[in-house]
Chain A
């Protein structure tokens, strides 16, 4: 039987180089930015949260009657603040607007609030049954789609 040897060293080097490029900090940061966009959109515009990584998005727990009344009376609230007993975690809008990328190098991407007060608010919402800082399964699929498009754009511009 005829045999041929294939030199894999250069292929391996090529793939390693490519892999390094497609997980570069710029791309990871872009994924972070797109994740923040999706989280803000789902929470503020749809009033939905996600209770675990890749879980299902569902309506945020309603606020109490007392808080709903108090919220209604507040002046200067965000124009997209929820009405009635609905929740979209937007009163002044600062908590969702303060989301930023804490770390996005090669490895996991960390996002959170850029100030202590909003971090405390986020933690409290997660504890009290209104978790929002995860990506749902559907959003993960969307992020992967966006990643794919982004990389394709880079290849076509290279």
Chain B
């Protein structure tokens, strides 16, 4: 099920993962979410929609003027919000990434995720960027172990 409200994301990973491998995969998941969002893409790798004024696919006129463009919506001005995504200890077979409770960046992220921006939640304006498809997680895990194997064979 997709994460449409939370500022923390629970991700299923192989139960055998632990220690440095688990943490590094968690960090790579954060890298992936940051990069995809910076490119103006949602969890499915598509631009935010609907693409009209006052909705998720475009910045408002006033904000676009300040920013210099109305789309793609890359959720990056100073970079602080995306930079604040953290790794949290999860249960066995689970990785948690997201925002520390009560921080300014958590409130900013929540505004984007539920489309509230300090007001009532609005699904048309929502940009639930803190999410990842299971197939992308599986690819990250696979690539990580492939990289390790290659490194070991180089030694």
Q: With the chains together, A150 CA to B24 CA distance in Å? A: 9
Distance in angstroms from B59 CB to nearest chain A CB is 11
A8 at the interface (CB under 8 A from B): no
Q: With the chains together, A41 CA to B79 CA distance in Å? A: 7
A138 at the interface (CB under 8 A from B): no
Number of interface residues of A (CB under 8 A): 19
Q: With the chains together, A104 CA to B87 CA distance in Å? A: 22
Nearest to B21 among chain A residues (CB) is A26
Contact partner of A83 among B68, B76, B78, CB < 8 A? Answer: B68
Contact partner of B76 among A26, A37, A45, A154, CB < 8 A? Answer: A45
Number of interface residues of B (CB under 8 A): 23
Nearest to A42 among chain B residues (CB) is B79
Given contact pairs A33-B31, A45-B79, A83-B68, A26 touches B24 in the complex (Cβ within 8 A): yes
A55 at the interface (CB under 8 A from B): no
Nearest to A146 among chain B residues (CB) is B27
Q: With the chains together, A33 CA to B89 CA distance in Å? A: 21
Q: Are B83 and A157 in touch, CB under 8 angstroms?
A: no
A24 at the interface (CB under 8 A from B): yes
Given contact pairs A83-B68, A156-B89, A157-B89, A27 touches B20 in the complex (Cβ within 8 A): yes
Q: Are A79 and B69 in touch, CB under 8 angstroms?
A: yes
Please name 20 pairs of A and B residues whose Cβ atoms are closer than 8 Å in the assembled complex, sorted by A.
A24-B20, A26-B148, A33-B31, A37-B83, A41-B83, A45-B76, A45-B77, A79-B69, A79-B74, A150-B27, A153-B89, A154-B19, A154-B23, A156-B89, A157-B18, A157-B19, A157-B20, A157-B23, A158-B18, A158-B19
The 4 tightest CB contacts between A and B, nearest first, are A158-B19, A153-B23, A41-B79, A79-B69
Residues of A whose CB lies within 8 Å of any CB of B are 21, 24-27, 30, 33, 37, 41, 45, 79, 83, 149-150, 153-154, 156-158
Q: A24-B20, A37-B83 are in contact. List 11 more A-B contacts (CB 8 A).
A: A25-B151, A30-B24, A33-B31, A79-B69, A79-B72, A153-B26, A154-B19, A154-B20, A154-B23, A157-B23, A158-B18
